[in-house]
Amino acid sequence: MLTALGTFLNTLVVPLTHMGTAMQMNLQAYEQAYGPGGYDGQAMSTVAFNIFAGPWIDQLGQLSVGLGTFLQSTVTFLIGLKTLL
């Protein structure tokens, strides 16, 4: 049972890590495109998105990477627990 749970959790790690990494790269690309002074002539919705959603995207990306790391640690713990049992 523990092995099956570990396998299931390990299956979730890769997509979550990729999602987090992609979101972090998207934020970097967005900041490079609309860096300081890059808002001149931009629509207000673009400015608002960068100010309010940009940090949220970064936090969500970090959360996804952290969750992937947590799942890897959980799998390692379950494997160790299985070994002890």
Query: What separation, in Å, do the N-terminal and C-terminal C-alpha atoms of the chain show?
Result: 12
Res 29: pLDDT: 67
Give the per-residue pLDDT at 37.
61
Report H helices in the chain.
Answer: 2-33, 44-48, 54-84
What mean pLDDT comes out for the span 7-15?
Answer: 79
Q: pLDDT tens digit string along 39-78?
A: 667 777 777 777 677 777 778 888 888 888 888 888 888 8
| Domains of the chain, residue spans | 2-35+43-84
**Eight-state DSSP code of residue 51:** I
Q: What is the pLDDT of residues 13-46, one digit of tens each?
A: 878 777 777 777 666 666 666 665 666 677 777 7
pLDDT for position 10: 77
